[in-house]
Each structure stands twice: as C-alpha cells, then as structure tokens.
Homo-oligomer: A and B are copies of this chain.
Amino acid sequence: MKVLVYGAGQLAQMMYLAAAPLGVDVKAVDVSNREILHPVSKQKLELNLDYALADVDVVTAEFEHVPEELLSIAEESGKLSPNARSILTGADRVREKALLDSCGIPNAEYRIIRRFTELEDVIQSLGERVILKASRDGYDGYGQWRYQSPDDMEGIKTALASLDLDTVPIVAEKMVNFDREISLVGARTKDGKTACFDIAENLHHKGQLHVSIAPATHLSDALKAKAQEIFTAITNALDYVGVLAVELFQVGDSLLVNEIAPRVHNSGHWTQNGAETCQFEQHIRACLNFPLGAMHTNKVTAMINIIGCTSFSRDLISIPGCHLHWYGKEVREKRKMGHINVTAESYHELSNKLEQLMTYLPEPYFPKISGEIGRLRSI
C-alpha cells in the first residue's frame, strides 16, 4: 500500500522507515512547490502531485501548516487522514481554542485580538503576565511574544504593528504558572477506537523542546485518566484518524491543554525505542485502517533533541541503550538535526546513562540534561 505525506522533513522520513517493514511505501510532498520527494534521500521523484494523489491509498501530513488547497484536493479524493478540519484546527490557535471550549476542556484563559487597538485592553484584562501568540504559522517559539512587565508593551506594539490581524489574529493567553509540561500521544482508528502511549514530560528551552522523559515521573493515575479523557474528547470531536499529540500544562492536580498537534510529534519520538510500537508505525497503521499495535512502554526513555549542533562525537552510540536518529539536514541555528533516545531499566539507570552521554555532548547545546541527571537520580 502507499501513503503520501504533505511535508518532507524528518517526520515523513521516520514514517517511511517505520512503514517499509509493513510493505507500505511512503512518498513526501514539498508543499512549497508540490514536488514529490523520497522522504529519506529527499531526491526528487519524477511524479506530479495529481498522479501521486491518484496512486496512493492514503494522504497524511507531517505538519499542520499545509496550504488549504492541498488539503481540499486530498480530502475530496477521500484519502486524507486525519481530515482537513483536524489539520486546520491544529494550524490555527483560534480554531483550536474554539474546539477546546466546545468540548469543555480546560485551557489557559485567553482573548483574541483582531484589531491592534484592542491590544492594551486585552493585556490589562488578562493580568500581569500574558503570552501573545500569532494564531497561525507559529512554531518552536516563533510568532510568540511575552508580556511580563509594562516595559514589554512598546516592543510588543512594534512587533505587532506590522501584522495583519484581520487575517492572522493574535491569541492572548494568561501565562500559566504551571508545574510542568506533559504530553499525551495517542491514536484513533476509523471506527473510533483510541489508544494512548504513556505520557511524557517535556523540558523546553527558548521555546523549543529539548528533552522528553517517558513515562513522566510521579504522575498520578487520576491525572493519567484525565489526560486520556481529554485525548478521547478531542479526537472524537474531530472524528480524528491517526496519531495526535496533546500538550498539557500540569498545575497541581489539574491539567490545561496548551496545544494539540494533529500528527506524529517530537514528544513521541521516545516510542521508537521505548514502546512496543512506535508512533510513526502507529500513525501509518491507523491511517491505513490496519489494526493498531501494542502501545505499552518497554523501558524508561529519555529523548534528547540535537538542535543546531553537529559538533559531538558519534561514539555516543557506544552507550548501551543509546540510539541515534539523524535527519541528514544541513546545520542551521535552532534547527532540529536529530535526536537521541536513551533507554534504561529505571530512572536511576537512565540518570547514569545521561551522565555518560554528556561526556560526548557540548553542554551549551544541551542545557536541560544536567538538571535531569540530578532529578532522575533521586527518584
């Protein structure tokens, strides 16, 4: 069987690698020019989009910022999984907030700014610390501005003055004083069955995910159940098919949804080495209406993003349970170049392995690990 992926980055690449053993061929589309590419070599394939769309069984997306026209074409063919509404909801914070509200799912208090003149009032109404997010095309901290004191107002005004808020409104959120961010990655099948991986906890730095630990430490059964209810409510509301990630803020005993990603997600990369079936294979299975694979966790895993950095020794793969996943991209500042999954039998052992790992990695590019070494050791 054949799958076409909108987007030709590392997520399409890892879908290809996970799908091939099932006898499923994956091709990628560069949505900027509609070229069909091999998802690993990125070699241009001599196919046009119309032919590729007709040829495959399923069309999916590795990211949500796909031109609407491409989504429509695929949806009309009856082959798009997840559906266009799901992808558009993930791509647009205004739609996303509306979905969460309609499902009664807690999320950060917010207001939508559609006119520049509303800016100051909205910020005042939301409290002392506010985060402003462009409703579309933001990722990894881009398209976000923080208001943490009146001194920030001028800078924010300057940044927003050039934007067309009619087309891309701003979602202003009250900044949540959360204990931590966790994420739930799960799958929903065509007949409405849902199944989730264990929840991961995520460490960010300057707006980017740096480390995920799975399963999340010290997570109560009540919170796990709550997160799964949220996952089920969202995916049912969207009539979702495939893998979806929900990022959640934990505040004491409650959960607020930060955002949803209608796709395989960086915080689910740990499943490649820590779970019985990885998220990439699971997504392919769900989209092709194959039975889902077992999702139980085999090991404790740390997923470490390699960001903007190639200056490390590949010999880190000598550490038992250390698995490199390299994307083959040219290095650029803030670019995700690859990730490392480190598996262990316990958090304590994981801590030791992370300590070993840091002897191979340049600390400035991996600022979140040393803190985790201490924290995991004491669990």
Contact = CB atoms under 8 A, between A and B. Distances in A.
A290 interface: yes
Interface in A70-91: none
Given A314-B290, A321-B276, A40 B22 contact: no
Interface string A220-245: 00000000000000000000000000
Interface stretch (A144-152, A169-177, A323-331, A362-370): A323-331
B17 A20 contact: yes
A191 interface: no
Given A291-B317, A292-B318, A293-B317, A21 B17 contact: yes
Contact of A17 (B17, B38, B338): B17
A317 B23 contact: no
Contact of A324 (B22, B38, B40): B22
A284 B331 CA distance: 24
Interface string A283-301: 0010000111110101000
Nearest to A325: B21
A57 interface: no
Given A20-B40, A21-B323, A317 B338 contact: no
Interface string A254-296: 0000000000000000000000100000000100001111101
Interface residues of A, number: 32
A184 to B, nearest CB: 20
Contacts of A355: none
Contact of A296 (B22, B276, B320): B320
A219 B322 CA distance: 29
Nearest to A277: B323
A10 to B, nearest CB: 10
A18 to B, nearest CB: 9
A291 B276 contact: no
Contacts of A32: none
A40 B13 CA distance: 14
Contacts of A326: 21-23
A41 interface: yes
Contacts of A298: 298
Nearest to A324: B22
Nearest to A39: B20
Interface in A88-106: none
A235 to B, nearest CB: 20
Interface in A344-358: none
Nearest to A24: B326
A50 interface: no
Given A17-B17, A298-B298, A314-B290, A320 B22 contact: no
Contacts of A315: 290-291
